[in-house]
Amino acid sequence: MNQSQLRPLAHVLGVDIDALNMESTLAHIAVMLHERRKGYVCLTGVHGVLEAQRSRQVAEAYGASELNLPDGTPLTWVGRLQGHSTMECVTGPDLMLEIFRRTEFAHVTHFFYGGAEGVAAELRDRLTRDFPSVRIVGAVMPPFHGLSCTEQNEFVATIAELKPDIVWIGLGCPKQELFMSRYLPLLDTRLMFGVGAAFDFHTGRIRACAPWIKRAGLHWLHRLVQNPRRMWRRNLFIIPAFLWHITLQLTGLHRYPPQLARKSEPHGLKPAESGQFEVARKAP
């Protein structure tokens, strides 16, 4: 590996965010699947970054991930200020849809874990209808409490029997990050994705916003209007806290060192001239 070529990272309040876009993200995932490597992917927004400020466990979960993708326009703004001109927002719902619709991932098997009662099964049915060639091998709604020893053994045994390539986790932040960091070593799967509310988006429980709303960084307002009872309290604390801390970081008044050093550039990838990753050609 050429150590002079490291994975581009944006540094946001001590969390290293991969300075990628949708195409470079998909290229990275394709290589991981081809090489049968294990890892988990966090779709990281402002909420997650602030949770990492409050909890060392959450910070360590981000530090040990394969990818921390910028699931929020404010994170891409920070990344571009740090010189990552090709960095773009990669949301959980969008990434999920791209993987399901692209032919290069047609051979991949999937398992859904998360959501309220019936959501995972409905998601399976909808995606199977929209993409008849996809291979969804299972869907489970988790208990509201943490897994008991018996439930954990049953879950591990189910994954061992089905051996899905990807397990999609829809538990919300920070539960899904902690869940993936704990369970990936126990599961016979390759990749886990923590996609938050993607299950609800793709089953119509949450309406997607227009692209210009995302670009303007107003996705939080769109969610607030749809579900004010649930979202107002969280946004009341998250938005002012993030603005305060990121101002301290960008002005140099406070340093936010990363809890764990992120991995360098993965084998088989190299930065392309466009700033994206491409699969490196192997010599014959």
Q: How many domains does the chain have?
A: 1
Q: Per the domain annotation, does 49 fall within a domain? A: yes
Phi (first) and psi of residue 16, to 5 degrees: -85, 120
Range of the domain at 212: 11-268
Q: Per the domain annotation, does 3 fall within a domain? A: no
Q: Is 132 exposed, middle or buried (0-12, 13-18, 19+ CB in 10 A)?
A: exposed
Label each residue of 21-47 as H, E or C: CHHHHHHHHHHHHHCCCCEEEEEECHH
Give yes or no for residue 263 having a pLDDT over 80. no
d(CA 156, CA 269): 31
Q: Per the domain annotation, does 95 fall within a domain? A: yes
Average confidence score pLDDT of the chain: 85
pLDDT in tens, 42-80: 999 999 999 999 999 999 999 999 999 999 999 999 999
Q: Per the domain annotation, does 4 fall within a domain? A: no
Q: Per the domain annotation, does 280 fall within a domain? A: no
Q: Per the domain annotation, does 275 fall within a domain? A: no
Name the pLDDT band for 7 (thresholds 50, 70, 90).
confident
User: Does pTM top 0.75 for this prediction?
Assistant: yes
d(CA 81, CA 86): 11
Beta bridge partners of 68: 42
Q: Per the domain annotation, does 85 fall within a domain? A: yes
Q: Per the domain annotation, does 278 fall within a domain? A: no
